[in-house]
Amino acid sequence: MENVVPWISAFTSTGGKSPIVLPVFGPDGPEQWYAMASNEAEANALSQELLAFVGPSYSDFRGQFLDPDPTDTTETALHERFGRFVFRLVPFNSEDSARIAGALQMYLGLLRRRPTVPDRTRRPFGKVRAEFDRALLVGNETDAVRLREELVESGRLDAEQEKYLDIRMLAGLGRQFQLAHDYPLVKSVLGLSLPAQTIADLVGALYSTYIADLEEGGDDDAVLSTFRKEIANNFGPLFLERKGVMRPSVLKAFMLYELVQAEPNTERCQAIVSVYPDDGGRALVERWAGRLSASHGSPRTDLFDSARQALADEDYGLALQLSFDAFPNPWTYAALLRCAVEMDDVEVALKVLEMVDEAPETVRLKWSKRDLARLQQLRRDTAVHPGVAVDQPSRTIRPEADWLSWVAYVESGIHERPPLQVLEDVLPRWSVEAYASDPAACTDLAKRLGNAGGAAEQTFRDAFAPLVEFFVDRADRPVRAFAPIYAMLIRIMAWNGMVTANELELASAVVLALISLAPTREDYAEAVDAYAEILGANSAPGNIDWALNAAEMLAIHGSPDKESRLRFFMTVVDVARSGSHRLRPVQYEILTLLAKDYGCSGLLDSFPERGGAGEELAPRDDFAGLIGIYTLTEQAGQRARQFLRKMFPQAKVELNADHVATDKLRGLAANADIFVFAWKSSKHQAYFAAKEARGSRRTLLPLGKGSASILDCILREFETVG
């Protein structure tokens, strides 16, 4: 009773706000303990304190949350009551069981004497949201779930915003298939005026799930039939407003939506064709648009309805032209004023002012306060009368147009809205392809990002994740025109000093994009040296797997400058040497193989006593099951397989790199005793197929995609299950 009652009393006396640790008894006393907390902050503190009082000295506890066994009624009940904030401590032997009991009594005494501390754990909402976005960008599901909970617990989100956050998380983690089939979630937001990002996430998920594969077959009738049945009939309200979203999949989906209507909006279809990027999909969209005259004749469209739709889609160029065509109908004045303000073009503003000044008094009396405010803004921005030149510096900079206008807005120091908030709103409306075809604009952007100072410099550093999302993640492949931006992003990260694990993975993604373009020797050396600076500033033992993955990435890609690449590897070796007493045997084995790749096998001979790393990787004959590894970085997978075959000679190790959900992948996921799905490969339907095939069994998701990360999560799984 002394192991139970005091904990229960302490827990109830605080109203359930303190942690509680309870034993599970066997014939000879406590066999294991469960520790529970009520929220994220308490769980983090409890984990650290348990490590201090018990930790790896007496148990298998390393700070990990409990992965509940669905057949264990105790663990199921604890999970239902405390959520994921449950830990389990299993002693190594009976002597350690007694030591744990004593240590926990000391811990309880400390908790009773601890004074009440004001809650200062709540972090700024914007900072948490930025970390959430970075976690999504690198595919770190564990961090994303944790940060989502922190955002919800902040009390800053209403019910609708919480749903938008759930949609963003599924789409950001590449779970489009899962999102498209989450009917309750999608249905719950139909009919709402959705943010541009949510429109991009939802419509993109539906298109990739139902239409993308059919698109490649060339059967337009099958595409239209499937779109009508699976998307238009079920989710039609999603297509009320496009809000300027420029994602190719979204543009194609809105085109198909019009084509399956009884009376398609011709202007809307032509507007989509006019803004569609000049890539491989443009010919397809033009072919679809050609069906309008063939299948529907010349549908009648009312100019007012078409202009209103264009404004809803935030296609201001089309709305302006339609308003000109319908002028002087009374409704055109409000439309012209809005278009002129949003387009922020001096010539357009002057032309609109000239037309508005001719409006009759009966029309002016019906203008709304917003119309009058827009009129005043146009007059203020132009500050002209006929024949007077425009004073450009006096005009308010509008950051919505593109990256360069946003940069100018940041540099101006005059912000009606926070720059990062503006960026979050407009990013889905900007076209990656527009920059891919404009190297001069990319070079200008890179220079201005790099030469900024003061507050602007800090804002650009804070915008690192959106820059990576736009120029690296959203592009299908590395783009030659983006090379100056890639190089600048690497330098920005180097200037930041110490960063998070997710930011390190983003840095690796940028470096990979740059070196995949076969850069010049000078550009390569500059980028790799900056990469080494990042490693030097983040040389903690916990980052050694990332460092090994980085060295492996450079080793398997061509290098125009072997010296800078070798300098990077020397930095990796220095980091490993300084923490050699913490180096695990598998990490030392990978380091040894990398030393051969870099042509310096004797470099590790100077290592000091390596502690755990000095142990040989003795083969284990206690596992003869199947280990499945899914990764698109096949060389990393092959290296991981090589080590696993050495360590587990009785086991079978299979690799898979299918880009879609194949039967082979499903079979491997279903049959594997241990299954790894490399994070970067989760950006398509293969992940959902694999997870579905696994059922209730765990799928391991390494943060990195190198062999070190793959092996680390597999070996930790063996440690967990014993």
By three-state DSSP, how is residue 375 classified?
helix
The pLDDT tens digits for 355-413 are 888 888 888 888 888 888 888 888 877 764 344 444 444 455 678 888 999 999 999 88
Residue 396 DSSP label: P
pLDDT in tens, 470-494: 999 888 789 999 999 999 999 999 9
Task: Give whole-number Cα distances, 642 to 44, 121, 337, 647, 711, in Å.
Answer: 37, 45, 67, 9, 11
The mean per-residue pLDDT over the stretch 673-677 comes to 91
Please name the residue that has the structure tokens 């180097």: 494
Report the pLDDT value the prediction gives residue 434, as an integer from 0 to 100.
87
The residue-averaged pLDDT of 194-201 equals: 93
Mean pLDDT of 670-687: 74
540 with 698: CB under 8 angstroms? no
| Res 660: pLDDT | 74
Q: Can you give the pLDDT at residue 682?
A: 46
Average pLDDT of the segment spanning 317-339: 86
Mean pLDDT of 424-439: 90
pLDDT digits (tens, 9 = 90+) for 253-298: 999 999 999 888 888 888 888 888 877 688 899 999 888 765 554 5
Tell me, what's the pLDDT at 722? 56
In this prediction, residues 146-155 reach a mean pLDDT of 90
Q: Is it the case that residue 678 has pLDDT exceeding 90? A: no
Q: If residue 628 lies in a helix (H) or strand (E), which one and from where to where?
A: strand 626-630
Q: Is 175's pLDDT higher than 50?
A: yes
Q: How far apart are CA 176 and CA 247, in angstroms?
A: 15
pLDDT at 21 over 80: yes
Mean residue pLDDT of the chain comes to 85
Tokens of 238: 């999603």
Q: 43-52, 244-253, 291-300, 708-717: which range is least confident on average?
A: 291-300
As a whole-number percent, the residues of the chain with pLDDT over 70 amount to: 93
State the Cα–Cα distance between residues 180 and 694, nearest whole angstrom.
20
Q: How many CB atoms lie within 10 A of CB 12?
A: 11
Residue 315 is which amino acid?
Answer: D
Evaluate if residue 22 carries a pLDDT over 60: yes
Q: What is the pLDDT of residue 81?
A: 87
pLDDT category at 168 given cuts 50, 70, 90 is: very high
Residue 529 has pLDDT above 90, yes or no: yes
Is 90 exceeded by the pLDDT of residue 184? yes
Average pLDDT value for residue range 681-699: 75
Q: pLDDT value at position 715?
A: 83
pLDDT higher at 373 or 237? 237
Q: Which residue has the higher pLDDT, 51 or 564?
A: 564
Mean pLDDT confidence for 601-628: 72
Pick the CATH number of 626-721 from 3.15.10, 2.60.40, 3.40.50, 1.20.58: 3.40.50
In this predicted structure, the answer to whether residue 681 has a pLDDT above a threshold of 70 is no
Higher pLDDT, 686 or 246: 246
Q: What pLDDT, on the 0 to 100 scale, is given for residue 366?
A: 83
Dist CA 528 CA 570 (whole Å): 12
Please name which of 206, 134, 175 lies closest in space to residue 499, comparing C-alpha atoms: 134
**Per the structure block, which two tokens stand in for 368?**
């709304």
